[in-house]
């Protein structure tokens, strides 16, 4: 969450972090999007877990 707040240019860090926390509590924002992408990748990779390379 801190890294996504740091990526917001032109905004004070305390304001960026506060808005990121607020967006996360609403189910939106960069960190929530990243978490959802990670869960989708894990679900798709789970289908191939039984293969041995």
Q: What is the pLDDT of residues 1-53, one digit of tens each?
A: 888 888 888 889 999 999 989 999 998 988 899 999 999 998 888 877 777 66
d(CA 6, CA 22) in angstroms, rounded, equals 15
Across 30-48, b (16+ Cβ under 10 Å) vs e yields bbbeeeeeeeeeeeeeeee
**Assigned token pair, 12:** 């004070």
pLDDT, residue 18, reads 93
Q: What is the pTM of this model?
A: 0.66
Residue 13, CA atoms < 13 Å, CB-side half-sphere: 4
E-strand ranges in 1-53 read none
């Amino acid at each position: 969450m801190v890294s996504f707040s740091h990526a917001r240019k032109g905004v004070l860090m305390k304001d960026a972090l506060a808005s990121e926390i607020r967006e996360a509590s609403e189910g939106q924002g960069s960190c929530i999007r990243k978490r959802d992408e990670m869960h989708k990748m894990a679900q798709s990779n789970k289908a191939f877990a039984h293969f041995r390379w």
